[in-house]
Amino acid sequence: MKLGEKDKSRELRLQGYSMKQIAGLLGVSKGSVSNWVRDIPLPLEAAINIDNQYLIGREKARVTRLNNITSRNNEIFRICKEEIVPFSIRDLWMAGLMIYAGEGNKSSVVSNQHVEVANSDPNILRIFIKFLVEICLISKGNIIIRLILYKDINIEEAYRYWSAELNIPRAQFRKEFIKPSYKDSPYRHLRRSCYGTAHVCLYDIKIYRRIMGWLKAVYENLILDELIIGK
Give pLDDT tens digits for 13-29: 887 787 888 888 888 88
Cα 26 from Cα 9, distance rounded (Å): 8
Task: State yes or no: pLDDT of 230 exceeds 80.
Answer: no
Question: What fold does the segment set 89-230 form as a domain?
Answer: 60s Ribosomal Protein L30; Chain: A; (3.30.1330)
Q: What's the mean pLDDT in 60-69?
A: 86
CA angle 82, 83, 86 (to 5 degrees): 70
| pTM (global) more than 0.75 | no
Q: What is the dihedral of CA 130, 135, 138, 142, to 10 degrees?
A: -40
pLDDT value at residue 155: 94
Band the pLDDT of 132: cuts 50, 70, 90.
Answer: very high
Q: Where are the domains of the chain?
A: 89-230
Compute and round to an integer the Cα radius of gyration of the chain: 32
